[in-house]
Amino acid sequence: MDKPSQESSSNADTPDFAVREIPGTEQLLRQAVVENAEAVVVKVGTRVLTRPDGTLDIQRVQRLSSQLCRIADSGRHTIMVSSGAVGAGVAKLKLPGRPKSLGPLQAVAAIGQTDLIRAYEQSFATHGRHAAQVLLTRNDLRRRSGYLHVRNALLGIHDLGAIAIVNENDSVAVAELRTTFGDNDRLAAHVAGLLESALLIILSDIEGLYDGHPDEPDSNPIGLIRRLDDDVLGLASDNTNTVSKGGMRSKLKAAQIAVSHGHPTIIGPGRQDDVLDQIMAGNPVGTLFMPKEKTIRGRRRWIGVAASVIGEISIDAGAARALSERGSSLLAIGITAVKGNFPRGSVVRVVGPDGRTVGRGLSNYRSSEITKIKGHNSDQIGDLLGHRPYECVIHRDNLVVDVVED
C-alpha cells in the first residue's frame, strides 16, 4: 500500500465534513456501527504488512490474526482482504524491487502468495481457526451467477468456522498487475457488498483522513464523514511505490462504494497494534464514513456496482429528472441514442444530455430494438417491433441511480 498524500481544500465556505458534531455523537455512532455489524471485512495493505526492507512482518500478521479471531469469536462473519503477495514474493526472491513486466509480476505474485497464506494459517491455528484462501478477479463478480457463487463460498467458509483471506488473483489479473478491481481497497468494498450489515475496515499507514497533508503540523485527522462527496475526495491525491498500489484516494473510492451499499467504513491506522480491538470497542480510531440513509440491496446492488456494463443509453433532460427525482422506469420516449450492440437483459449505463451517468439498469430490449423505438410512446412499440413484451425499456426495479463509477 502506498504512502498517501493529501491536499487541503482552500474553499472559502466551510465544507460539510468540517461541521462540528454535538459532543458524544461520534462515539454513539461508532458504538452503534459496531453493534449492528453482522459481518466485518478488514483490508490490510502491503505497507502495513511488510517491514522497511520489504519482507513480510510476521509479528504484524500474528497481531492482526489474533484480533480477527476475536471478531470471529463474537459470531460475526469475518473476512480479511490482504495485500502483500507481490511484496512477499519480492522479499522471498531477494529482488531489488517490484518487476515492471507482466510475466515476472505474475510469477512473483504466485510465489509470494504461498508465504502470505501460510503466515495467516499458522497464526489462526493458535486460536483454533483455519485460513481459507480466496483469489478473485473482477470477472468473478461481473456475472450475476459468479457474484452469487462467490457470496455462497464466503458464507460456507464462515459456516465452517474459518476466516477467508481474499486477494486479487494477481497471477491471472492482467490489468491489476500492470480484468480487475484496480486495487485491494476496492476489492474489499466489493466483497463487503456481497454481505448484509457489514462493516468495512481499511487499515492504512496513517491514522485516517486528514483535513490537510498528514505531514503538515496544522493538519488534523477527521473523525467522522457523514457524506462522502467531491469535497472529501478532493482531500486526497495519490502517488505510487515500487512494491504497493493504492493511495488515500483509492481508499476514499472504496469507502464510497461501501457506503453506497449501506456499509459504514473506517479508515484506520494499520500499524497500531490493537487497532481492530479498539475499533470493535467503539473507540475513536481513524475516520468513520457513514452510509446513505437509502441504500441498494439484492440484485440492484449487483447492477449498481459489480455488473459488467456493455452498452449505453442516452436520455433527454425530462427522462433524467424522472429517473433521478421520481424513481420512474425508463420509457422509450425519453431515449435519444443507443451505443453498443447488446442483447436483452444486459446491464447498460444510462447517461443524461450532459454526458453524466444517471444510473445503470437491466435492459428489457436489444440495442437494435431500442434504436427503432427510441423517442416513441410506449403504445407505439408493438407497431414498430411487431411485439411489445414490455412497456418500459428499463423497469425501475432493475434500475439504480446515483451509482458509484468504479
From the annotation, which residues make up the binding site for substrate? 83, 170, 184
To the nearest 10°, report the CA torsion of 121, 125, 127, 131: 30
The rounded Cα 224 to chain-centroid distance in angstroms is 19
**How far apart (Å, rounded) are the C-alpha atoms in residues 113 and 204?**
21
Task: For residue 370, count other CB atoms closer than 10 A to its CB.
Answer: 22
| Residue with grid cell 486495487, as numbered in its chain | 183
Integer angstrom CA distances of residue 352 from 83, 358, 367: 38, 6, 18
Residues contributing to the annotated binding site for ATP: 43, 204-205
User: Which three three-digit cell numbers place residue 208?
Assistant: 485516517
Backbone angles phi, psi at 285, to 5 degrees: -115, 130
β-strand pairing of 287-289 with 224-225: parallel
| C-alpha R_g of the chain | 23
CB half-sphere exposure, 381, CA atoms < 13 A: 19
| Residue pair 204/269 in contact by the 8 Å Cβ criterion | yes
344 DSSP 8-state letter: T
Inter-helix orientation angle 184-193/248-260, to 10°: 10
**How far apart (Å, rounded) are the C-alpha atoms in residues 321 and 143?**
29
DSSP 16-51: GGGSPPPTTHHHHHHHHHHHH-SEEEEEE-HHHHB-
**How far apart (Å, rounded) are the C-alpha atoms in residues 99 and 243?**
9
Residues contributing to the annotated binding site: 43, 83, 170, 184, 204-205
